[in-house]
Amino acid sequence: MAEHVPYPSTPTFTNFKRQYIRALEHSPPVGDLVDEKELRTRPPRVGTFLGTIKLHGTNASIVYYKGDKHNPTFQTRTWVITDGKDNHGTRALLSRAPLHNLVDEILRIHNSISFEDIYISGEIAGKGVQKGVAIANLELFFAIFNIRINGDWMDMRKYKTVALPDYRIFNVAQYPTFTLTIDFRENTTAVSDKMEKWTTEVFSECPFGAAFTDKEGKKVSGAGEGIVWTLIESQDEGRPLKRDVLWNFKTKGEKFSTVATRNNLNASATQSQEAAALFADYALTEHRLEQGLEHLLLEQSRNGVPESEQNALDPKLTGPFLTWVTNDAIKEEGHKMKELEANEREVRKEFSMRAKKWFTQRCRDASNDLKLADETMNKLTIEK
């Protein structure tokens, strides 16, 4: 089996900015002599970011090795897809397309005739993958949002023609995009306000979905999840962008946020339980809990469970659900936990209590819905 190639996680702007500034603080001044490794990894102090529509689906990638454009590997964010382990029809959708044409177009743009590896990252989305967004009304599709060639991430403005629309393989760079310049030496409040405005507009009406029509010819309307911002160009004189690191972050509409945006956090809380409760108010949102269910389904796909038999709302999965939700919150928002001086042990207890209550109720509701469906079916059978 081919080796899995991990796709980098996409942090929130708060976490991204913290990581980015830390990288800047360890970078030498422009013009200083540095070794090649340091030169590759240091980011620009002022950079241009491309914003593309964030699609609410499941991550998928097509990976080509050693110049072979006819035998790609398909994968999720965390595992390789095989005949017996598909994920929301990824393999079925991609296998029927002439994917070598994507490679031909990439090499044409890149002005190359060969490659060591090509990594096409995107999102599988549409009916049956997620809900609550405009694109959930579309037939299953794959949307390309990033391309890496021989270890370097490309500027997607130049690669937006890499697509096969006749086979429902699209490219997010062909749809409405946004650009902004961020100076990380300055206060970023004005930039944040601009990103929030654009993100709110996407949340109100998804520009990607609006580019399509339904069977009746009506524009597909509904919410979008948010925007992904990717560093595409350095504005530092004498410091070109080194592309072996993918610098990107996400901004989401309030419904899809994994942290509370309207809260009354009190960073002066000293009582351990109170601090843990405040952190849970902040980080244990409805969307993070829903992501926990998505994780359970993804794990079932990884283990080869047919999609028709997959079920995240099983009381036996309470433990894995609690573990994922808690670890995910601490991983992504650990800085806020420290800011509140919340004890991790107390945080885990608080999360476990709240998440267990939520998960138990969802399992109970699902069980009641199933019983009601069975009773209705039995009644119809008897009446016949």
> Does 296 reside within a domain?
yes
Q: Which pLDDT score, from 0 to 100, does residue 377 have?
A: 47
Q: Which pLDDT score, from 0 to 100, does residue 7 have?
A: 87
Give the total number of structural domains in the chain. Answer: 2
In this prediction, residue 366 has a pLDDT band, given cuts at 50, 70 and 90, of: confident
Q: Which pLDDT score, from 0 to 100, does residue 259 have?
A: 52
Q: Which pLDDT score, from 0 to 100, does residue 378 have?
A: 53
> Does 56 reside within a domain?
yes
Q: Which CATH number belongs to the domain containing residue 198 in this structure? A: 3.30.470.30
> Does 299 reside within a domain?
yes
Structure-token match 């608080």, residue found: 350
> Does 7 reside within a domain?
no
End-to-end CA distance of the chain: 52
The CA-based dihedral angle spanning residues 292, 297, 302, 306, taken in that order and rounded to the nearest 10 degrees: 170
Say how many residues make up the chain. Answer: 384
> Does 5 reside within a domain?
no
Domain end marker among 197, 226, 256 = 256
Specify the pTM: 0.74
> Does 153 reside within a domain?
yes
Q: What is the mean pLDDT of residues 218-235?
A: 91
For residues 227 and 102, state if they share a domain: yes
Contacts of 203 (CB under 8 A, 6+ apart): 223, 224, 225, 226, 252, 253, 254, 255, 256
Q: Which pLDDT score, from 0 to 100, does residue 286 have?
A: 79
For residues 37 and 94, state if they share a domain: yes
Q: What digits encode the pLDDT tens for the residues 235-286?
A: 998 888 989 999 999 988 755 455 555 455 554 444 677 888 888 888 888 7
For residues 249 and 326, state if they share a domain: no
Q: What is the mean pLDDT of residues 348-370?
A: 84
Res 24 pLDDT > 70: yes
Q: Which pLDDT score, from 0 to 100, does residue 89 have?
A: 85
For residues 158 and 291, state if they share a domain: no
Burial group, residue 24, by CB count within 10 angstroms (0-12, 13-18, 19+) = middle
Nearest C-alpha neighbor of 331 from the set 261, 247, 270, 259:
259
Q: What digits encode the pLDDT tens for the residues 103-125?
A: 999 999 999 999 999 999 999 99
Q: Which pLDDT score, from 0 to 100, does residue 380 have?
A: 46
The residue among 213 and 148 whose pLDDT is bigger is: 148
- Spatial contact of 285 and 257, defined as CB atoms under 8 Å apart: yes
**Residue 84 in 3-state DSSP?**
coil
Q: Which domain holds residue 332?
A: 272-383
Res 35 pLDDT > 70: no
> Does 264 reside within a domain?
no
- Spatial contact of 152 and 243, defined as CB atoms under 8 Å apart: yes
Between CA 135 and CA 131 the distance in angstroms is: 8
Measured in whole angstroms, the distance separating CA 138 from the mean position of its chain's CA atoms is 19
Q: Which residues of 341-358 are buried (b: 16+ CB within 10 A; e: fewer)?
A: ebbeebbbbbbbebbeeb
For residues 228 and 333, state if they share a domain: no
In this prediction, residue 382 has a pLDDT band, given cuts at 50, 70 and 90, of: low
Domain end marker among 256, 291, 316 = 256
